[in-house]
Structure 1
Amino acid sequence: MVGFARKFYRYAMVSGLAVLSTGVIAASPAQAQVTAFKQAVAEAASRDDALSAFYRENGFQPVWTVDSPIGVERRSALLRALRDADQHGLPVKRYNFDALYAQLGDADTPRELGLAEVAMSDAFLTYAKDVQSGMFKPSSLDNDIKRKAPVRDRRENLETFLDSDPSAFIKTLPPTTSQYVGLMKEKKRLEHVIDLGGWGPTVQAKKLKPGDSGKAVVALRNRLITLGYLERSAAITFDTEMQKAVQAFQLANGLEADGVAGSGTIAEINRPPQERLKSIMVAMERERWLNKERGERHVLVNLTDFTARIIDHDAVTFETRSVVGKNQSDRRSPEFSDVMEHMVINPTWNVPRSIATKEYLPMLKRNPNAVSYLKLVNSRGQVVNRGNVNFSQFTARNFPFDIKQAPGSRNALGLVKFMFPNKYNIYLHDTPAKNLFSREVRAYSHGCIRLHQPFDFAYALLARQVDNPKEYFQTRLKTGRETTVDLIQDIPVHIIYRTAFSDAKGHMNYRRDIYGRDAKIWKAMANEGVALDAVQG
């Protein structure tokens, strides 16, 4: 490809007009070459509004095929990025790297250079978008992924690139979060593991506990060693060290850390590195969907981890268990970001209409006195006497009442809820069903996020605006009256879904794909050419 641009520019950079023997002024050969180049650029760019506008405004001047040091830097930086796209879990073939490289090297005429010029810009814009904000529109893969990826303006990306150091600019495109960096590191490690043949034989047992011995225990020992949870050992008995290793594995995989390798633990231990690599690359795509400022202080809810955290300056300052939506079509918790504005102490539960008509109306038809702790309220705000209502005449479409539950310890929302108003009617709240928090998989709600320690969560939020947050909160709680407390500083809330993420110490954690969303994302990625091979060609 050396000197390919000179084939054109040794003529094109010469300007001027030639006078024909007839005395008519005509374009010189050099000017004709330039015109052919510009026409090719205009033609190729016409299929893309952003590119067409960009080249029209810069007078169809070359960006990539300019024969100068900056042209070389731009071409080299982009080609390197496209060649190494697999490092980000992106498919090299998506950017037609081989064809683009060949097109640049074979460009002999001004027209061919013009077509190559636009092909380079198109590849740049596609890659920049993919590595900045993901290959896909999130909602196109699953209806409950409500997140809007932070897609940057295409022309602005190209114009900023031209005003920057090419290599430095391309390095700014992907997320710079510690999570993304950790995912890239784990991706490389797993690819090396796969190249070496994996983690060895799987554990053939239903359950192993301290004191057990035999071939299955040896297999468990070897697996824990290769997974990095156990130092090299010749032990043939399930000893204390192996129990500690099992507990460490369980903690890193969202399992009950009892030190016993039950069926669930063994199933996770037996997962091949290829499955983990899929989780890593899907998590990288998801991280690109959230490639924006998340807030100096923000709330992070990871649905697969069943946790809610307060993050201050990238450090976890509060964490509690959560219960998320049940794995049913109308109950799964959606993924989105919004802003928490206030909390409500002693909340009234305004039963969502979907729950009122699908769950409670059939009960009321069978027995008008069912769920007597709930009040029926008409359009004028008056409480309705159930004895005067013929519920059989109503359907989900014409049911005329609102259903409410007064504040109290039995209230479905518990004693406090945290509001970030959104069209999905999702919020964080307390719950009287405390027993669910002891379970390993905590997907039971109608979609909202229930918190195990809602009072402590409230104290942590209030600590920045009152001197004694506990006293402040408890004083209002003891009144028994519904009280709204505004947050002086709005707090971003990010409800995410990560089956692979690193903890505070940088150790990679894995979780199960509870809603099957990652499987859908991986399928879409594979259809685009993402592969598990270290080199995707």
Structure 2
Amino acid sequence: MRIGVAMVAVAVAVSGVVASPQPVQAQNLFDVLFKSPEQRERERIARERARQQAQAPKAKPVRISGPRYYTYKADQLVSVDFGKIADPVVTGAISDMGLAPLGIDPFAEGRPVLDELSARALPEVAEAVVAHYSEHPEYNWVAGTSITDRARAVIAVLEGADEVGLSAADYAVEVPDDAFDVTQGTARQKELMAFEMRLSLAVASYILDASRGRVDPNRISGYHDFKRHSPDLAAHLEALSKADDPAEALLAHNPQGAHFEALVAELKRLKALDDADRIDIAEDIMLRPGQANPELANVMAAIEKKASDELKEKHALLFASYAGKPEYDEELVALVKDFQKELNLATDGVVGPATRRAMVGITNADKISKVQLAMERARWLPGVLAPRRVFINQPSYTASYFEGGKHELSMRVVVGTKRNQTYFFDDSIETVEFNPYWGVPQSIIFNEMVPKLRRDPSYLDRAGYELTVGGKRVSSSNVNWSAVGSGSRIGVRQPPSSANALGELKILFPNSHAIYMHDTPSKSLFERDTRAYSHGCIRLQDPRAMAAKVLGTSVDEVRQHIAGGQNKPVTVPEQIPVHVAYFTAWPDETGKVKFYADVYDRDSYLRKAIEATREVRAGS
């Protein structure tokens, strides 16, 4: 087939984007006499392509934007329809022999109160309470003319809601006095029925909040992707009414596990402290070896307060002899480097933003807030985390592997930039792909590659990328990139190679966000304290070790898969839960709660969502 005919065939397949050449024509006598037919053909095609690109309508530049943050709209309260309980026909409480005689059924005596009782609750709560008492028309929290010890035990849990990161004000119930006027039996019955209903509403509200959180994360931003938990509240109310220890049963609706226990303990500890002895250092400090800075005295004081006993003992003579001089000499640099090493910071001896944060820390009030936000976020995860799992925490830039509930592996990671944020979601690991292809996301193609290709059409060819237009494989130099717009079906992928952006392997948990864990040729980024540099995926510091863990094999076997050089997907023996999470306060492998910078400013959005929820509930 002649060259011109072949080019026409490709042009038909992807018309409008790939330049279409015309039949061969000699340009002048010089071309005819001194140039070969092949050379004349190549030059003619180039001229024709240039002419067509100049005449073709220019496509409007495409910009693919990421998700956005929303103004949070809180769950609204509804009026509880107690009338469905008040009518015994609706509840099915009439026996074959007729209504029970007055005085025999206390709940039946109190029914008339329900016609005039008003209360507001979340829709799920209102429905569950009505359903429970329609099916079980009897008191749970009242006996005779008094409230029960079971009721008092449950109230104590509700009053302690702040201890688990909830708000006790959301579950406040007025408790009837033990003493009452016995001549006012009807009034007492009304009081007890109202208490019964309000306590059950509070209990159901607590169960709902403890199980799924007060906030719907998907309404905060498009970067959150969770299926909100939907506990069967009516069933839980019935189970609670029969529980030997209702207080313990109620508390059990909070997340279970060492991670939540650590947060509860840390919150209690923090509330007992104050900020009186906090040492501050100028926020704009940038102290390098050999410089002088009056802030050095505060730096020394902060290290002495924050450092371990071992470090202070090693530098005891320096601490004893330091007299407040501003010169940052070699001895002081060595101390700072040891401090940085102790906190897993870059050991460069430079006191900049990251080292300052480690020295100063955050205020106690800020820590309390971060722990409370962590407790809220923990409710979006499964109530009990799987014993075998991978947990990625974006603010700490770490990925951890757990086996049998125990921490077995941890490594540094690189996550998305603030412009290309990594999502917060749960999924399951299914595949490890060795020597992977990199399917370039559409956002990168249109936001980054197309503008470059309009200046340099052969860029993808030279870089070794594979290009398809409308599903057909083409050369990037044959595409009229000025005509590429929103309707263009462009696909780009990078074959396996030492330069591949995904490195040696990727670990897949298929999701709509095209996020996965992978290797990277850019190893130097792992040495940095702040590691938000990717387009949203998670780059692993030690991908071979993580692949070995999820495959249940050895690092040596992983190496052999890679050494083959061929693209090779391997299915994991059993799917493993992976949490791509975002916690600015979270326990480390020792169980100690650590605090991290809010890389994406998500704490402020969650605080606003909780405040919007508080306002709705306070207005009830």
State if a TM-score over 0.5 links the two structures: yes
> Offset of 1:483 from its aligned partner?
0.8
Cα separation, partners in 2 of 1:64 and 1:224, compared to 1, 3 Å: farther
1:220-239 correspondence runs (5 A) = 220=299, 222-224=301-303, 229=308, 235=320, 237=322
Q: Which residue of 2 aligns with 1:90?
A: 166
Q: 1:272 to 1:240 in 2, by over 3 A?
A: farther
TM-score (norm 1): 0.81
In the TM superposition, what is the alpha-carbon distance from 1:370 to its structure 2 partner?
A: 1.9
1:492, distance to aligned residue in structure 2 (A): 1.1
Change (3 A) 1:120 1:493: same
Q: Secondary structure at the match of 2:564?
A: coil
Q: Secondary structure at the match of 1:308?
A: strand
Superposition deviation, residue 211 in structure 1 = 11
Deviations 1:8-46 (A, max 9, x none): xxxxxxxxxxxxxxxxx9996647975452244476589
Q: 1:161 aligns with which of 240, 245, 269?
A: 240
Which amino acid in structure 2 is aligned with residue 285 of structure 1?
E
Q: What stretches of structure 2 of length at least 5 have no aligned partner?
A: 1-97, 181-185, 325-329, 616-620
Residues 1:53 and 2:135 aligned together? no
Give the C-alpha shift of residue 207 in structure 1: 5.6
Counterpart CA distance in 1 for 2:266 and 2:368 is: 8
Residue of structure 1 aligned with 2:403, choices 312, 329, 337: 312
Q: Secondary structure at the match of 1:475?
A: helix
TM-aligned CA deviation for residue 472 of structure 1: 3.2
Deviations 1:376-407 (A, max 9, x none): 12444x42133432222221x21122111111
Aligned to 1:453: 542
- Whether 1:172 and 2:224 are equivalent positions in the alignment is no
Return the alpha-carbon distance in structure 1 between the equivalents of residues 490 and 543 of structure 2.
30
User: Aligned to 1:389, which of 479, 492, 501?
Assistant: 479
Query: How much does 1:345 deviate?
Result: 0.8
Correspondence for 1:354? 443
Q: What amino acid is aligned across from residue 57 of structure 1 in structure 2?
A: E
Return 477-486 or 42-51, whichever deviates more.
Answer: 42-51
Q: Is 2:286 the partner of 1:183?
A: no
Q: Tell me the amino acid that sits aligned with residue 64 of structure 1.
A: W
Q: Quote the offset at 1:202 in angstroms.
A: 2.0
- Partner residue, 2:373: 282
Name the residue aligned to 2:498: 409
Q: Give distance in 2, aligned partners of 1:488 and 1:366.
A: 47
Single out whichever of 205-214 and 291-300 deviates more from structure 2: 205-214
Q: Secondary structure at the match of 1:493?
A: strand
CA contact (8 A) 1:41 1:117 kept: no
Contact kept? 1:513, 1:519, Cα under 8 Å: no
Report the equivalent of 1:533: none
Deviates more, 1:448-457 or 1:142-151: 142-151
Q: Residue 198 of structure 2 aligns with which residue?
A: 119
CA distance in 2, matches of 1:175, 1:354: 37
Work out which of the residue numbers 134, 152, 165 in structure 2 matches 1:76. 152
The partner residue of 2:175 within 101, 112, 116 is: 101
- Taking structure 1 as reference, are residues 103 and 212 closer, same or farther at Cα in structure 2, changes over 3 Å only? farther
**Aligned 8 A contact 1:297 1:310 in 2:** yes
Structure 1 residue corresponding to 2:142, chosen from 52, 61, 65: 65
SS at match of 1:290: coil
- 1:88 touches 1:284 (CA, 8 Å); kept in 2? yes
Structure 2 residue 111 is matched with structure 1 residue 38: yes
What is the identity percentage for the equivalent residue pairs of Structure 1 and Structure 2? 27
Task: Report the Cα distance in structure 1 between the residues aligned to 2:249 and 2:333, rounded to whole angstroms.
Answer: 48
Alignment of 1:495-534 (within 5 A): 495-528=580-613
Which of 371-380 and 32-41 deviates more?
A: 32-41
Does structure 2 retain, via aligned residues, the 8 Å contact 1:138–1:148? no
Indicate if the aligned counterparts of 2:425 and 2:581 stay in contact, CA closer than 8 A: yes
For structure 1, the 5+ residue unaligned runs are: 1-24, 531-537
Name the aligned partner's letter for residue 480 of structure 1.
G
Q: CA separation of 1:347/1:32 partners in 2, compared to 1, >3 Å: closer, same or farther? A: closer
- 3-state SS in 2 of match to 1:322: strand
Check 1:475–1:265 CA distance in 2 against 1; reply closer, same or farther (3 A cut): closer
Aligned to 2:579: 494
Over 3 Å counting, the alpha-carbon distance change for 1:161 and 1:496 in structure 2 is same
What SS class does the counterpart of residue 565 from structure 2 fall into? Answer: coil
Q: Distance in 2 between matches of 1:210 and 1:360?
A: 41
Shift of 1:134: 1.6
**Structure 2 residue 440 is matched with structure 1 residue 344:** no
Q: Deviations over 1:262-302 (max 9, x none)?
A: 44322443322111111111111112222433322111111
Paired with 1:30 and 1:284, the residues of 2 have a C-alpha distance of: 47
Q: Is the 8 A contact 1:346 1:482 kept in 2?
A: yes
Whether contact under 8 Å (1:198, 1:273) holds in the other structure is no
Other-structure match for 2:488: 399
- Please name the residue that 1:20 is paired with: none
Q: 1:359 to 1:157 in 2, by over 3 A?
A: same
Q: How many residues align?
A: 491
Letter in 2 for 1:364: L
User: Which residue of structure 2 aligns with residue 10 of structure 1?
Assistant: none
Q: Counterpart of 2:215? A: 136
| Aligned-pair CA distance for 1:222 | 4.8
1:305 and 1:263, CA in 2 relative to 1: closer, same or farther beyond 3 A?
closer
Larger radius of gyration: 2
Matched residue SS, 1:202: coil
Instruction: Give the CA deviation at 1:474.
Output: 3.2
Q: Is 1:310–1:316's contact at 8 Å kept on the other side of the alignment?
A: yes
Cα 1:77–1:493 shift into 2, 3 Å: same
- Counterpart-to-counterpart distance in 2, 1:125 and 1:113: 18
CA distance 1:27–1:175, shift in 2 (3 Å): closer
Is residue 385 of structure 2 the alignment partner of residue 294 of structure 1?
A: yes
Match of 2:513, SS state, is coil
Deviation at 1:478, TM superposition (A): 2.8
1:322 Cα offset (Å): 0.9
Task: Find 2:452's aligned residue among 363, 368, 392.
Answer: 363
Instruction: Describe the shift of the 1:245–1:56 C-alpha distance in structure 2 as closer, same or farther (beyond 3 A).
Output: farther
Change (3 A) 1:445 1:525: same
Q: Secondary structure at the match of 1:304?
A: coil
Contact in 1 for aligned 2:413/2:531 (Cα 8 Å):
yes
Residue 66 of structure 1: CA displacement?
Answer: 3.0
Q: TM-score, normalised by structure 2?
A: 0.71
| Amino acid of the structure 2 residue aligned with 1:264 | A
Give the drift of 1:245: 8.7
Q: 1:417 Cα deviation (Å)?
A: 0.7
CA contact (8 A) 2:465 2:494 kept: yes
Deviation at 1:163, TM superposition (A): 1.9
How many Å separate the matches in 1 of 2:521 and 2:293?
46
Letter in 2 for 1:403: V
Cα 1:209–1:399, aligned 2, differ >3 Å: closer, same or farther?
A: closer
Give the drift of 1:68: 8.9
Partner-residue secondary structure (3-state), 1:301: strand
With over 3 angstroms needed to count, the CA separation of the structure-2 counterparts of 1:61 and 1:225, relative to structure 1, is farther
Could you report, residue by residue, the CA deviation over 1:156-214 in whole angstroms, capped at 9, with x for unpaired residues?
A: 221111121212212322223222111122212222212xx533342358366899999
Q: Separation in 2 of the partners of 1:457 and 1:86?
A: 38
**SS of the residue 1:169 aligns to:** helix
Secondary structure of 1:522's aligned partner: helix
